[in-house]
């Protein structure tokens, strides 16, 4: 992703958001869109969401991420679906919506368990959600399956 968006690699997150968002705005998929078009649109929104989340802009990250339906991404892109959901959960947590963050993280794990298992962001978020008190049902089970101390 950083090769396609040198702004992101250079920590120019605001510029990365602007470039990725503008490109996505030019490619909104329709009902007859090819899977490749939907995947490209999703990748652009994911890039914008990640850049916005790294800037601590939870609201902007969610706004961008919610414009794509992970279920519409081709089945071969399960890790992309899961990554999108992990980033959405991080943005929800930034906005202090821990219940939604927990539910979204659980959905990411349901879709692609290995993506969550090996994602440092997902594991870190899981730890934060567990320590925040009253975690969503299923988070403790997820922590057990990932061998994380709850």
Other CB atoms within 10 A of residue 149 CB: 7
| More confident of the two residues 45 and 98 | 98
Please give the Cα distance from 53 to 47 (Å, whole number): 10
The per-residue pLDDT for 55 is 59
Q: What is the pLDDT of residues 10-32, one digit of tens each?
A: 456 667 767 777 777 776 777 78
> Given a cut of 50, is residue 1 above it in pLDDT?
no
Q: What is the pLDDT of residues 82-95, one digit of tens each?
A: 888 898 898 888 88
The per-residue pLDDT for 4 is 56
- Identify which of 38-47, 85-94, 117-126, 137-146 has the greatest average pLDDT: 117-126
- Dihedral sign, CA of 94, 95, 97, 102? negative
């Amino acid at each position: 992703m950083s090769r396609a968006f040198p702004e992101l690699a250079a920590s120019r997150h605001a510029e990365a958001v602007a470039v990725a968002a503008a490109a996505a705005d030019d490619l909104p998929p329709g009902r007859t869109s090819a899977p490749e078009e939907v995947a490209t649109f999703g990748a652009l929104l994911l890039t914008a969401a990640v850049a916005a989340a790294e800037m601590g802009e939870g609201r902007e990250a969610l706004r961008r991420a919610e414009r794509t339906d992970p279920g519409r991404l081709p089945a071969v892109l399960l890790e992309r679906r899961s990554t999108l959901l992990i980033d959405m959960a991080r943005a929800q947590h930034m906005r202090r919506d821990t219940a939604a963050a927990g539910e979204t993280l659980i959905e990411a794990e349901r879709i692609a368990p290995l993506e969550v298992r090996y994602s440092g962001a997902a594991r870190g978020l899981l730890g934060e959600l567990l320590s925040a008190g009253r975690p969503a049902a299923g988070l403790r089970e997820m922590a057990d399956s990932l061998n994380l101390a709850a």
